[in-house]
A = this chain, B = another copy of it.
Amino acid sequence: MARAATTTDVFNAIAEPRRREIIGMLSDGREHAVGDVVLHLRMPQPAVSKHLGVLRKVGVVTVSRRGQMRLYRLNAKELKPVHDWVKVYERFWTHQLDRIKIRAEQKMAERITRENQIGRDKEEK
């Protein structure tokens, strides 16, 4: 196997900086035509279409037609898995207090590890 397809999950989809830019442009919650994105982000049209295609397959955007244009809209709830996943690590950089707690836990854990190690050493003797 090679790499997992980008159309597989959201994490892969947002790995592309340009796709994140597109998402950012859609973050106003409004519909945007492909041409808008091309203009604002100054990307070649085929690139935009492709990236939007990826985002659509993952569900991060939805499409609707209006005349000859296609209007893309952000479906942000599909980003929730990313948020949920990374939220777990928030405590590592917020709140001095948490940081102290984490430190304490680490020290404790290390001590136990050390003691276990010593215990094992003795047994092996």
Chain A residues proximal to chain B, CB less than 8 Å: 3-4, 9, 11-12, 14-17, 20, 23-24, 27-31, 74, 76-77, 79-80, 82-83, 85-90, 92-93, 102, 105-106, 109-110, 113
Contact = CB atoms under 8 A, between A and B. Distances in A.
Contacts of A79: 86, 89, 92
Contact of A86 (B15, B17, B83, B93): B83
Contacts of A93: 76-77, 80
A92 B12 contact: no
A87 B92 contact: no
Given A12-B15, A93-B76, A31 B110 contact: yes
9 contacts: A11-B14, A28-B105, A29-B92, A29-B105, A30-B109, A30-B113, A77-B92, A79-B92, A83-B87
